[in-house]
């Protein structure tokens, strides 16, 4: 992008003074000569990976020494974002890289506990920890600049704003990654978090020459054979309670491993119970390891699943959240479903 085009874009996508100040404070840390580690939450999604790759590509464009260090591996469907970017997805050496960092940047979360095996290192490293996030859930991180806006559709949208405020060059490779971040967190621009500004930013990213169909094929049309088989088994467990607008599915224990899949292959399964007429709250239950169950939550209308999740120590967005609870699958289901019925009954008109 030329400087003239950047100026025109800045005028179209004007930022308030507060955000410009946040972006400049953020950029003051990320300069050539400092070793910068960028990380995101365990089991990273398209926004976590896309915003990380996008930021690293932006920083490397002006010579900053930036590297991605994540607590868990990158899902295979997002590996295409790492083309011609060797050595950044260094999961095995993540702790070693963090111990050498001058600055740590945490994306798509604001809670150090969501960094899994990297949590202790980040918490004790003693260097600035910057954060870019769009969730409404509270969290705790070591001190550092913050660029947080719960009104944004994706963290990738906020990375674009930081680039815009600082006049950073948005290359095609960076644009591709940020587009993936926004595309996936809006459900292909279908969810209610898709605002006019979201589409304007996506349009600016497309102006760099990225191919939306190619990105779609990489992200959504490159599934292993086991994924539709998993979907078939999960949907066999579907339960609907139309009287309260509740529906849920359960991933059969061991099916992910038996089919040679990963947790990323469960993406979108909870959308099927949510798509049923009259359902206001949809859930997906899955054992993540012995003695712990993850619950994915999705809602329709005014039902706030982030508020629901907070009673169990979880969080997320108004219409998409999650919790992780200790107990057997049956115990967690009984507890969460009872709470869900009470929650829905308290707001019958939502």
The proportion of the chain whose per-residue pLDDT surpasses 70, expressed as a percent, equals 95
Indicate the length of the chain as a whole number. Answer: 350
Query: Is residue 72 a contact partner of residue 115, using CB atoms and an 8 Å limit?
Result: no
Q: Report pLDDT for 239.
A: 98
Task: Return phi, psi of residue 298, to 5°.
Answer: -135, 150
18's enclosing H/E stretch is helix 17-29
Average pLDDT, whole number, for the chain? 92
233 versus 290: which is more confidently predicted?
233
Residue among 99, 153, 100, 155 nearest 131 (CA): 155
Range(s) for CATH 3.10.310.30 in the chain?
226-345
Give the count of beta carbons closer than 10 Å to the beta carbon of residue 88. 20
Query: Is residue 279 a contact partner of residue 320, using CB atoms and an 8 Å limit?
Result: no
What is the Cα–Cα distance from 173 to 192, expressed in whole angstroms?
27
pLDDT tens for 89-142 read 777 789 999 999 999 999 999 999 999 999 999 999 999 999 999 987 767 899
What is the Cα–Cα distance from 29 to 129, expressed in whole angstroms?
10
Sign of the Cα torsion 341, 345, 347, 350 reads positive
pTM, full prediction = 0.88
Q: Give the contacts of 232 (CB within 8 A, at least 6 positions apart).
A: none
**Residue 170, pLDDT above cutoff 70:** yes
Min mean pLDDT across 2-11, 177-186, 241-250, 253-262 is at: 2-11
pLDDT confidence band for 151 (50 / 70 / 90): very high
pLDDT tens for 51-86 read 999 999 999 999 999 999 999 999 999 999 998 887
Fold of 226-345: Diaminopimelate Epimerase; Chain A, domain 1 (3.10.310)
342 versus 87: which is more confidently predicted?
342
Range(s) for CATH 3.90.1640.10 in the chain?
3-220
327's enclosing H/E stretch is none
Task: Return phi, psi of residue 103, to 5°.
Answer: -145, 140
Average pLDDT estimate for 201-230: 95
Q: Give the contacts of 60 (CB within 8 A, at least 6 positions apart).
A: 66
pLDDT confidence band for 350 (50 / 70 / 90): very low
Give the residue carrying structure tokens 């930022």. 15
CA 302 to chain CA mean position, Å: 22
Average pLDDT estimate for 213-218: 96
Task: Return phi, psi of residue 28, to 5°.
Answer: -60, -30
pLDDT confidence band for 243 (50 / 70 / 90): very high
| Region of residue 261 (left: phi > 0; alpha: psi -120 to 50; beta: else) | beta
Q: Which option is the CATH number for 3-220: 3.30.9.10, 3.90.1640.10, 3.40.50.1980, 3.40.50.300?
A: 3.90.1640.10
DSSP 8-state code for residue 279: -
Average pLDDT estimate for 166-192: 95
Euclidean distance between the first and the last CA atom of the chain, given in angstroms as a whole number: 45
* 251 CB burial (10 A radius; 0-12, 13-18, 19+): buried
């Amino acid at each position: 992008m030329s400087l003239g085009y950047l100026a025109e874009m800045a005028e179209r996508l004007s930022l308030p003074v507060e955000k410009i100040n946040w972006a400049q404070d953020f950029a003051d840390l990320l300069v050539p000569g400092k070793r910068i580690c960028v990380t995101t939450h365990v089991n990273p999604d398209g926004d976590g990976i896309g915003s990380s790759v996008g930021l690293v590509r932006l920083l490397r464009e002006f010579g900053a020494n930036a590297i991605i260090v994540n607590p868990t591996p990158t899902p295979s469907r997002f590996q295409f974002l790492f083309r011609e970017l060797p050595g950044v997805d260094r999961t095995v050496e993540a702790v070693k890289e963090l111990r050498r960092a001058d600055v740590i940047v945490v994306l798509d979360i604001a809670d150090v506990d969501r960094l899994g095996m990297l949590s202790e290192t980040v918490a004790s490293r003693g260097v600035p920890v910057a954060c870019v996030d769009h969730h409404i859930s509270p969290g705790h991180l070591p001190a550092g600049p913050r660029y947080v806006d719960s009104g944004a559709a994706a963290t990738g949208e906020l990375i674009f704003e930081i680039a815009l405020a600082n006049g950073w060059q948005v290359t095609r490779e960076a644009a591709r990654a940020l587009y993936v971040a926004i595309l996936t967190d809006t459900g292909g621009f279908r969810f209610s978090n898709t605002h006019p500004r979201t589409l304007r930013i996506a349009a600016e990213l497309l102006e760099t020459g990225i191919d939306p169909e190619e990105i779609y094929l990489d992200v959504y049309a490159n599934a292993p054979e086991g994924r539709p088989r998993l979907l078939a088994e999960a949907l066999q467990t579907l339960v609907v309670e139309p009287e309260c607008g509740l529906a849920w599915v359960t991933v059969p224990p061991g099916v992910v491993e038996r089919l040679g899949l990963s947790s990323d292959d469960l993406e979108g399964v909870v959308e099927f119970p949510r798509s049923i007429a009259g359902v206001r709250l949809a859930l997906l239950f899955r054992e993540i390891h012995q003695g712990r169950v993850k619950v994915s939550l999705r809602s329709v209308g005014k039902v706030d699943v982030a508020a629901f999740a907070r009673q169990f120590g979880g969080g997320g967005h108004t219409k998409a959240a999650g919790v992780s609870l200790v107990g057997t699958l049956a115990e967690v289901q009984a507890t969460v479903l009872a709470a869900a019925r009470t929650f829905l009954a308290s707001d019958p008109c939502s």
